[in-house]
Amino acid sequence: MRDPTIGVLDSGSGNLRSVSKALEREGARPEISMTVNHEWDALVLPGVGAFGHTMENLSEAREDLLSYIESGRPFLGICLGLQVLFESSEESPGAPGLGLMRGEVRRIVGRKVPHMGWNSLEVSGNCPIFRGVDSGNFFYFVHSYAACPEEDVTVATCTYSGQELTSAVSRDNVHACQFHPEKSGAAGLRIVRNFTELCREGS
């Protein structure tokens, strides 16, 4: 079975190199690009920074990105790459998200914002990227806003500042995590490996 080619979409706000290195480590062939290649076996959208700025940078690639996701091939969003799946964000009023999942991204309420550092997950549901990942494993977070889904897509949560926050979502071929798997040690690399294996299954 050949190593899958996985596109890493450059939205002008991502940890492109560290994500690519993690994919390489797990046997994938990453390709960083500002445009969508429909020959890719899968697509990863990393992101750090502001919601509105990222959506502006994605404006030219938006239709190709949506078309790629609708084709049914595996998609993984990381950090801001999760947030832009939703309809809107309080961070950037008036800037529409991709609208693939119903709900809004809202600022975390609490004295300690951003949510930065290691936190443990409560994993629920049967999501393929969490195979072999148990509740209680720690992952690395850096974010001030969190998704508030209006549909049943949450597959992992964490507790921060007395609140339960959505930490990962999944539906069909679309998976996304608020934390950074590429910076989360062995547990994070397990998620990258699981995603790569999904790509192999479909290639």
Beta strand ranges found along the chain (DSSP E): 5-9, 29-33, 42-45, 75-78, 88-89, 103-107, 115-120, 122-123, 138-143, 145-149, 154-160, 163-171, 174-177
Catalytic status, residue 175 = no
Catalytic status, residue 180 = yes
77: DSSP letter: E
70 φ/ψ angles, rounded to the nearest 5 degrees: -70, -15
Mapped onto helix, strand or coil, the DSSP state of residue 123 is: strand
Catalytic status, residue 177 = no
130: DSSP letter: G
Of 158, 182, 197, 199, catalytic: 182
CA nearest 20: which of 45, 51, 38? 45
**Phi-psi bin for 26: left (phi > 0), alpha (psi -120 to 50), beta?**
alpha
161 φ/ψ angles, rounded to the nearest 5 degrees: 50, 40
Please give the full DSSP string across 174-193, using - where no structure is assigned: EEEESS-GGGSHHHHHHHHH
Of 79, 127, 158, 177, catalytic: 79
Of 91, 115, 180, 197, catalytic: 180
Active site residues: 79, 180, 182
